Amino acid sequence: MGKFVNSIDEFFKYCEENDVQFVDLRFTDIKGAWHHLTYRMSAVNADNLTNGFPFDGSSIEAWQPINRSDMLLKADVPTAFLDPFTADPTIILFCDVYDIYKGEMYEKCPRSIAKKALKHAEELGIADAAYFGPENEFFIFDEVHFVDSINEAGYRVDSEEGEWNSNTRFEETYNTGHRPGTKGGYFPVAPTDSMVDLRAEMMMVLEQIGLEVTLGHHEVAQGQGEIGVVFSDIIGAADNVQKYKYVVKMVAHLNGKTATFMPKPLFGDNGNGMHTHQSLWKDGKNLFYKEGNYGNLSDTALNYVGGIFKHAKAVAAFTNASTNSYKRLIPGFEAPSILTFSSQNRSASCRIPYGAGEKATRIEMRFPDSTACPYLAFAVMMMAGLDGIKSKEVPVGPMDEDLFELTLDEIREKGIPQMPHTLREALEALIADNEFLKPVFTDEFITTYQHYKFERDVWPDEGRPTAYEFKTTYMC
């Protein structure tokens, strides 16, 4: 699968051939949410495809003030694909945001930041290509309820696969008893795996819109799944995450279900990660490959890993961007928080995939999750890795033992660094450690991002009592 159009002329020809009625302009904000504007096909011409479409940047959280709100969406024409869900033929275009006041790509546009990160690698003379392969896990629930008010807070999710339904009497059907149970979802066949047809539909739709799909399977937790998509360059991979999340959510929705990429929606079961495979290339050669080394990993690759680990607490502010992220990063649920590397060992934060030859040798960072804005997460990891290459950072490892079995004291005795334990800790690290992000990330963006995350996520979360707090302290 690949591009459907390569130029503006091909775009209009493709639209005519497919009787396109609407053009949907998509862009991403700093928290990774996709937004859109829809134009009638008759209102779209070569001029606005080249020079941009106006929109109000003040209505997007943490972007422009009201007195400097006019901005432009610049379409990336080769990203065009037909929306598989609209009633009328609609073509979607990924867009970058342009700042008319500074006459440059907008410093708070995540997609533009990722482009600048790749350009930075080229300017350093280190690499001319960066490939990323994210693995986004998700849950499918039958319904979700939540409340957040001054005197009441709570949530409830339900899934036909949930072991809590083992004694439920259903109104319109019988209870068949086929359920994977907690941590039992890897990978039983139907009827225990109830999502076979749903995942198959998702895979077919993803291929329809241009992604190269390799596999789909039930994940470890009840109600959890994953679909494998072939890697791409840093921008294409992030674009694919946006497509992937859109398709998974829409297919679930149209089948009367609800999908979430939330890292830890179920207490006591595995959570959703976004394991991210990465490699740097130059002049057509994989810089991460060195035959005969541990895992066939070059010194450049190890320095790249060392850079990510060196800045891991600040990196986490982008790769694990929610308070819920850190409920996943605890021992016992296959979500590594110990900053070391290993070949094949999934308990390490960085895994070297087995059996990779020269073209396929890569590193897999296992701590990120899908609350990250993919453009920012990939760019931040690459900037940290590039800094590690420049300063020749060496990571702790390799460690091939089961790190989940280590006690906290043993981790400290071995001198193994860890991921931060809260979003607050990650953001405070970002405030103290952000030089490695410059000049790609501006001071204005970094300040805006950390203020936004504190005000939107950290402080509201810290100020709210939880059900567990009532359970442990109400009777004191």
Catalytic (active-site) positions = 56, 135, 137, 219, 226, 275, 346, 364, 366
Ramachandran area for residue 306 (φ above 0: left; ψ -120 to 50: alpha; else beta):
alpha
What whole-number distance in Å separates Cα of residue 465 and Cα of residue 344? 41
Q: Which of 459, 396, 387 is nearest to 424 (CA)?
A: 459
CA dist 428 to 62, 99, 327, 369, 450, Å?
19, 29, 18, 19, 8
Q: Which residue type is seen at 41?
A: M
| Nearest Cα residue to 178 out of 197, 159, 200 | 159
Contacts of 286 (CB under 8 A, 6+ apart): 279, 280, 358, 359, 361
Instruction: Quote the Cα angle for 185-186-188, to 5°.
Output: 75
Q: Which residues, other chains included, contact 474 with Cβ-Cβ below 8 Å and sequence gap of 6+?
A: none
Q: How far apart are the C-alpha atoms of 107 and 242, rounded to whole Å? A: 20
- C-alpha 77: how far from its chain's center? 23
What does the CA dihedral 45, 51, 54, 55 come to, rounded to 10 degrees? Answer: 110
CA dist 101 and 120 (Å) reads: 24
CA distances for 401 relative to 7, 136, 220, 405, 416, angstroms: 52, 26, 21, 9, 13
CA distance 111 to 32: 10
Element (H, E) at 22: strand 22-28
Pairing relationship of beta strands 22-28 and 90-99 according to DSSP bridges = parallel
**DSSP-derived secondary structure letter, 456:** I
Calculate the dihedral angle through the C-alpha atoms of 90, 96, 101, 107, rounding to the nearest 10 degrees: 150
Concatenating the DSSP letter of every residue in 35-62 gives EEEEEEGGG--HHHHHH-EEEEGGGSTT
